[in-house]
Structure 1
Amino acid sequence: MPRRRISFWYRFAAVLVKPPLVVLIKRDWRGMENIPAEGGFITAVNHNSHADPFAYGHFQYNTGRVPRFLAKSGLFKKGFVGAAMRGTGQIPVYRESSDALSAYRAAIDAVERGECVAFYPEATLTRDPDMWPMTGKTGAARVALETRCPVIPVAQWGANLLLPPYAKKPDILPRKTHQVLAGPPVDLARFYDKEMTPELLKEATEVIMAAITAQLELIRGEKAPATPFDPRQVRIEQRRRSLTQVEREARELTADAEHEKERGK
């Protein structure tokens, strides 16, 4: 695959990050032939460890098509990390502010300039108990349908064994293997030329997430659950249970009060 020009900051970051990655993890990388050699595109990647942006970034760097990640805006503000984030062209995400749509616009601009934008559609570490991809947010689908660029589904596994979600220390020994499988572009043609309604974006996102999950099934050699883990539904169910508990306790208190009132007559 021909290598495109890579900026100083990206090369500098690679010099710092690649040596420890090579020491800490072995690599089993497949599907690089599915990464477009030219033109703008999206990679849609599962997220299961705070270490996987570095491990996956290493994979993509080696394809010659460096990714622009969407990252929390706070990482861009100060010090060396902020300078590196800005210098490598990462895209800040401003949540709950008037600039919340700027990441979406920046992603479209990057794709239209022929760059790669890497999306974690889950938007956070998976909450699935068995580490399968969860339901996704619609950002990747929005950009894909707006630009009609290729969407490459990518599954990764192994960084989560080195640094499990929310773990404070890595599990270095025995040496882990980072597995990556990039699949062929997701077919989203049936969604083109249609109004970009929430329902359509949700359906397109489900197609993208299913493609990522299919790649992870090949890596893990097992089937994912038929229904993806949905953290929103879990929160709704937890609130419902909490309200039910509160209502039950309120009824018990009312019954106790009425009982005491009857006894006092």
Structure 2
Amino acid sequence: MTDPARTDQTILRPLRKANREPVEPMYRWAVRLVHALLKPLTHRDWREQGKLPQTGGLVVVANHISNVDPIALAQYLAFSGRWGRFLAKDSLFRVPVVGRILAAAGQIPVQRHTRSAADALKAAIEAVREGKVVVVYPEGTITTDPDLWPMAGKTGAARIAYATGAPLIPVAQWGAQDIMYGKRIEFPKLLPRKTLRLATGDPIPLERGSSEGQVTSAMLNRTTERAMATLTEMVADLRGESPPRPSSTEMGDSR
């Protein structure tokens, strides 16, 4: 297993050198602030950063284990050279201060379980076409698996990838649950220092459409299943454990 102290010394370059991609000033300020707060309180075991393409639109899919893991993931992406645009539930945008920061940082609100949810998908597709990185949690929520393994995924990320032709990149994470476990809302447990482990995987293969170029529901489901299976294997590696049996993470119709 990677030594946390050595990891901190070898992979953290100053943000201005690690990431030269244009971004909203608020986003850069927020990442700098988070970095200043987390650096003395956490270790970082960051792996395979070189697999994250440095140019062009991307769709990043990640597992969701904690209310604080978006912070860890955003920091990982930023110091890997890209600024992630997260699809986040719209209620967060109504939280004082937090909402203003999210909006000013170019994040994408999602009104879940409403007709307006399609607007978020359109905004995400447009962002990827503009060359940005859109981050999607395919599970749609923090996992409810008692051991925090990835659950079945929804097809939103696959839809964005097929609509844009952009790479579908898995990023697995583990460790944020030690700060705040699963869906619990509690005071963060920062001491003793926790290790935030994140890794980038190889692109998830996209299938060819029909002779008319149509993307079918079956294609979207298969691609989503591959993404979730890949994330499960990657999380197992970060945890140093065997993944659960396939039946526990089987996918149904994930539309």
Same fold (TM over 0.5): yes
Q: CA offset at residue 38 of structure 1?
A: 0.7
- Aligned partner of 1:249 in structure 2 is none
Q: CA offset at residue 230 of structure 1?
A: 6.7
SS at match of 2:40: helix
Gaps of 5+ in 2: 1-17
Q: CA offset at residue 11 of structure 1?
A: 1.4
Higher helix share: 1
Q: Note if 1:219 corresponds to 2:234.
A: no
- Residue in structure 2 matching 1:137, options 154, 161, 164: 154
Counterparts of 1:167 and 1:79 in 2: how far apart (Å)? 18
State the Cα deviation string for residues 141-186 of structure 1 (Å, max 9, x = none).
1111111111111110000111112151222232110000101111
Scaled by the length of structure 1, what TM-score is found? 0.81
- Residue in structure 2 matching 1:168, options 182, 186, 189: 186
Q: Note if 1:198 corresponds to 2:217.
A: yes
Q: CA offset at residue 2 of structure 1?
A: 6.1
Is contact 2:24–2:106 with CA below 8 Å preserved after alignment?
no
Structure 1 residues 131, 79: closer, same or farther in 2, change over 3 A?
A: closer
Counterparts of 1:87 and 1:124 in 2: how far apart (Å)? 23
Scaled by the length of structure 2, what TM-score is found? 0.84
Give the counterpart letter for 1:227 in structure 2.
S
Structure with max Cα Rg: 1
Q: Note if 1:148 corresponds to 2:165.
A: yes
Give the % identical residues.
Answer: 42
Is contact 1:135–1:228 with CA below 8 Å preserved after alignment?
no
Give the counterpart letter for 1:181 in structure 2.
A
1:70-149 aligned within 5 A = 70-77=87-94, 79-149=96-166
Gaps of 5+ in 1: 234-265
Counterparts of 2:214 and 2:179 in 1: how far apart (Å)? 43
Counterparts of 1:58 and 1:123 in 2: how far apart (Å)? 21
CA RMSD of aligned residues (A): 2.1
Counterparts of 1:161 and 1:231 in 2: how far apart (Å)? 27
Structure 1 residues 221, 101: closer, same or farther in 2, change over 3 A?
A: same
